[in-house]
Every structure is written in C-alpha cells, then in structure tokens.
C-alpha cells in the first residue's frame, strides 16, 4: 500500500510488517481505549480488557452472553457511546458478457 503525501513531501509504503506495527502501535491502542471508556461509562459493572498480540484490541466485558440477550444493556451502551454496531454493504454482482 502506497500513499502520496500532499505537497510533494514523499511517499509512504506499508508492507505486511509495517501494517502489523501500525496495528500494534500504542497510538491505536490509546484510540481504542478512549472509545471503550465511553462504553464502559454507560455500562456499570463492566471492565476493559486490552491485548496487543497480533493487533491492538480493547473490549468491554460484563456478565454473560445470556445476560446480554435478555437485557440488551451492552447494545444500549454502544449506542449511547456513539458506536456503530455494523451496517450492510451492497456488493456489485458481475455483469454477464454481451455477445456470447
């Protein structure tokens, strides 16, 4: 992946190793942690878990999946924190060839 820097400042290339370093960086971990702090604030009794093995990962944990299915508190906390729970992506289907 290469990107031209505006103003003729040069070029940035990220190979497999570079992307791995970026995904494990303290800056990415801090950004994720900041987002999850908002979720934790909206969900009493929860805790934050962080890992940085293959990539930075932060998650909010509380109770069990059974509790979440019956109460929906985690989903509400994500909504209050401004998080997105997913969206549908429409993929373009290949068009048939003409003339054959």
Whether 11 and 4 have beta carbons less than 8 Å apart is answered as yes
Full-model pTM: 0.58
pLDDT at residue 40 tops 80: yes
Spatial separation of the C-alpha atoms in residues 84 and 69, rounded to whole Å: 18
Q: Which residues are paired to 4 by β-bridges?
A: 11
- The widest CA-to-CA distance across the chain, in whole angstroms, is 64
No. of helices (H) and no. of strands (E), the chain: 4, 4
pLDDT at residue 30 tops 70: yes
- Confidence label for 50 from pLDDT (cuts 50, 70 and 90): confident
């Amino acid at each position: 992946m290469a990107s031209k820097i505006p103003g003729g400042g040069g070029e940035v290339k990220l190979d497999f190793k570079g992307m791995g370093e970026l995904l494990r960086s303290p800056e990415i971990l801090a950004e994720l942690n900041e987002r999850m702090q908002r979720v934790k604030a909206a969900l009493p009794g929860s805790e934050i878990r962080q890992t940085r093995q293959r990539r930075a990962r932060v998650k909010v944990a509380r109770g069990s999946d059974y509790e979440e299915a019956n109460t929906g508190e985690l989903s509400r906390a994500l909504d209050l924190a401004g998080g997105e729970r997913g969206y549908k992506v429409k993929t373009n289907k290949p068009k048939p060839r003409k003339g054959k």
